Amino acid sequence: MIHINEMPMDFEPRRKILSKISEQWSNAENLIAMSEFESAFLCGAIKTFRPKKILEVGVLDGGSTSVILQALEDIGEPYEMHSVDIAAERPFKKGVETGFVAKFAKEKIFSLRGTHQFHLGKILPQILDDIGGEIDFVILDTVHSLPGEVLDFLAMIPYLKEDALVVLHDVAVNQHEYHTGWCDAYSNAALFSAVTAEKFLNFDEKNFFRYPNIGAFKVSTLTAENIYNVFLTLILPWKYLPSQVELALYYHFTENFIPLSFTKFSKRLSK
Ligand SMILES: C[S@@+](CC[C@H](N)C(=O)[O-])C[C@H]1O[C@@H](n2cnc3c(N)ncnc32)[C@H](O)[C@@H]1O
Q: What pLDDT band is residue 265 in, cutting at 50, 70 and 90?
A: very low
Q: What is the mean pLDDT of residues 230-257?
A: 90
Q: What pLDDT band is residue 259 in, cutting at 50, 70 and 90?
A: low
**Ligand 1 atom closest to residue 123's alpha carbon, by position in its atom list:** 20
DSSP code string of 56-114: EE--TTSHHHHHHHHHHHHHTS--EEEEEES-SBPTTSTT-BTTHHHHHIIIII---SS
The better pLDDT of the pair 232, 207 is held by 232
Question: Is the pLDDT confidence value at 262 over 50?
Answer: no
Q: Residue 82 C-alpha to ligand 1 middle, in angstroms?
A: 14
Q: What pLDDT band is residue 258 in, cutting at 50, 70 and 90?
A: low
Q: Residue 22 C-alpha to ligand 1 middle, in angstroms?
A: 23
**Ligand 1 atom closest to residue 63's alpha carbon, by position in its atom list:** 9
Q: What pLDDT band is residue 257 in, cutting at 50, 70 and 90?
A: low
How far is it, in rounded angstroms, from Cα 134 to Cα 7? 23
Q: What pLDDT band is residue 183 in, cutting at 50, 70 and 90?
A: confident
10 lines ligand 1 (CB under 6 A): no
Closest to 240 (Cα-Cα) out of 142, 156, 155: 142
How far is it, in rounded angstroms, from Cα 271 to Cα 267? 7
pLDDT for the residue 229: 93
The better pLDDT of the pair 257, 259 is held by 257
With beta carbons less than 8 A apart as the criterion, state whether 171 and 192 touch: yes
For ligand 1, mutation pick of 34, 127, 142 (most atoms within 8 Å of CB): 142
Q: Residue 89 C-alpha to ligand 1 middle, in angstroms?
A: 11
Average pLDDT in the chain: 92
141 lines ligand 1 (CB under 6 A): yes
pLDDT for the residue 268: 46
Question: Is the pLDDT confidence value at 117 over 80?
Answer: yes
Tally DSSP H helices, then E strands, for the chain: 12, 8
Mean pLDDT is lowest, of 72-86, 128-142, 252-266, for 252-266
Query: SS3 for 241?
Result: coil
- The fold adopted by the segment(s) 2-235 is Rossmann fold (3.40.50)
- Burial of 268 per CB tally in 10 Å (0-12, 13-18, 19+): exposed
Q: What is the mean pLDDT of residues 248-254?
A: 87
pLDDT for the residue 206: 83
* Three-point CA angle 176, 92, 23, nearest 5°: 85
With beta carbons less than 8 A apart as the criterion, state whether 160 and 135 touch: yes
59 lines ligand 1 (CB under 6 A): yes
